[in-house]
């Protein structure tokens, strides 16, 4: 079944329905919303298509619950997105966020998705252990401190967090502050306290 495209391309409501069809986990959905928010914020910063970037962020892990391991994760999702008529550059960005696919991150969209994905997961983990379970007060210093704790948020790939900032060409502390600010805008939706 192809995506209904009233504007000639997939819209957020169709993308959200697809996310919900494949992802039942509340925490995975919240991760998708966090990455969407970060992608939208960077799209505005770079003067890019906010809607497209947001949808890519929203769908980057939509297949993860069914196919959590390499090489199926991202690859299976890309096949589904292709069948539904999603643009190739969106699918390539999603494939590129999983380094093992071998798909190069050769667009700004792809580099940004890779840069925000693991960081969003880590920022959420940091917020969840703070008093009030909030993003308020999370800064680069506190993130760096938690990154050094090997037992904290063990599943987050720390190397990819720093690699992502480097590939995007942004200074690490600035990147952390920018993404944190984007997540603060939807913090209530993420279950991370009230928006400031």
User: What is the rounded CA–CA span in Å between residue 12 and residue 28?
Assistant: 17
Q: Is residue 178 part of a domain?
A: yes
- Domain span at residue 130 reads 12-184
Could you tell me the sign of the dihedral formed by the alpha carbons of 154, 159, 161, 162, in that order?
Answer: positive
The pLDDT of residue 7 = 55
Domain assignment present for residue 4? The answer is: no
- Mean pLDDT value across residues 74-79: 96
Mean pLDDT computed over 134-157: 94
- For residue 120, being part of any structural domain is answered with yes
Per-residue confidence (pLDDT) for residue 148, from 0 to 100: 94
Residue 177: pLDDT above 90?
Answer: yes
Confidence of residue 9 (pLDDT cuts 50, 70, 90): confident
Instruction: Report residue 15's pLDDT band, with 50, 70 and 90 as the boundaries.
Output: very high
Does residue 101 belong to any structural domain of this protein? Answer: yes
**Model pLDDT, residue 122:** 97
Does a structural domain hold residue 3?
no
Give the DSSP letter of residue 121: H
Is residue 196's pLDDT more than 50?
Answer: no
pLDDT at 87: 96
This prediction has a pTM of: 0.94
Angstrom distance (rounded) from CA 158 to CA 152: 11
User: What's the whole-number mean pLDDT along residues 82-99?
Assistant: 96
Amino acid 1: pLDDT:
38
What the block records as the tokens of 49 is: 């298509």
Q: What pLDDT is recorded for position 151?
A: 94
Arithmetic mean of pLDDT, 132-144: 93
Look at residue 59 and tell me if it is in a domain. Answer: yes
Is residue 196 within 8 Å of 184, Cβ to Cβ?
Answer: yes
Asked if 118 and 156 count as a contact pair (C-beta separation under 8 A), the reply is: yes
Mean pLDDT of 160-183: 97
How many folded domains does the chain comprise? 1
DSSP for the chain?
A: -PPP-TTSS--HHHHHHHHHHH---HHHHHHHHHHHHHHHHHHHHHT--HHHHHHHHHHTTTTTTT--STTHHHHHHHHHHHHTT--HHHHHHHHHTSGGG-----SHHHHHHHHHHHHHHHHHHHHHTSTTS-STT--HHHHHHHHH-TTTTTTS-HHHHHHHHHHHT--HHHHHHHHHHHHHTTTTTTTSS---
Taking only Cα atoms into account, the Rg of the chain, rounded to an integer number of angstroms, comes to: 16
Structural domain contains residue 196: no
pLDDT (average), residues 112-138: 95
pLDDT tier for residue 57 given thresholds of 50, 70 and 90:
very high
Query: Is residue 1 in some structural domain?
Result: no
Whichever domain contains 72, its CATH number is: 1.10.3210
Q: What is the per-residue pLDDT for 193? A: 77
**Residue in the structure block whose two tokens are 């991760």:** 31
From 128, 113, 16, select the one nearest 62 (Cα to Cα). 16
């Amino acid at each position: 079944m192809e995506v209904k495209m009233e504007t000639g391309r997939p819209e957020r409501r169709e993308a959200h329905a697809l996310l919900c069809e494949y992802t039942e986990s509340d925490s995975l959905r919240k991760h998708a919303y966090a990455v969407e928010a970060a992608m939208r914020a960077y799209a505005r910063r770079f003067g890019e298509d906010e809607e497209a970037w947001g949808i890519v962020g929203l769908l980057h892990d939509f297949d993860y619950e069914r196919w959590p391991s390499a090489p199926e994760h991202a690859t299976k999702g890309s096949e589904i997105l292709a069948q539904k008529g999603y643009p190739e550059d969106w699918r390539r960005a999603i494939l590129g966020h999983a380094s093992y696919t071998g798909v190069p991150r050769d667009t700004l969209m792809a580099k940004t998705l890779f840069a925000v994905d693991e960081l969003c997961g880590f920022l959420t983990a940091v917020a969840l252990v703070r008093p009030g379970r909030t993003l308020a007060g999370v800064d680069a210093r506190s993130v760096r401190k938690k990154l050094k704790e090997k037992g904290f948020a063990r599943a987050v790939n720390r190397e990819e967090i720093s690699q992502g900032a480097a590939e995007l060409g942004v200074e690490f502390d600035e990147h952390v502050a920018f993404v944190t600010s984007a997540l603060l805008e939807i913090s209530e939706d993420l279950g991370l306290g009230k928006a400031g």
